[in-house]
């Protein structure tokens, strides 16, 4: 039997979601004094 080898450059949906949340949190942290709405995020 040959084991299935998955490409290492495949990004899962969960990883993409995590990146989006990470960016949103960084934005909100950086702009906290301004009290931004979620629409610019």
Residue 26 has pLDDT above 90, yes or no: yes
pLDDT in the model for residue 17? 93
Cα gap 35→41, rounded to integer Å: 12
CA 12 remoteness from chain centre:
11
Taking the whole predicted model, whether its pTM rises above 0.75 is answered as: no
Residue 23 has pLDDT above 60, yes or no: yes
Query: 16 and 2 in contact (C-beta within 8 Å)?
Result: no
* Close Cβ partners of 28 (under 8 Å, ≥ 6 residues apart): 36, 41
Within 1-41, residue ranges assigned H as helices are 13-30
């Amino acid at each position: 039997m040959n084991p299935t080898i998955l490409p290492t450059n495949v990004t899962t949906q969960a990883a993409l979601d995590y990146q989006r949340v990470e960016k949103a949190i960084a934005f909100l942290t950086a702009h906290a004094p301004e009290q931004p709405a979620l629409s610019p995020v």
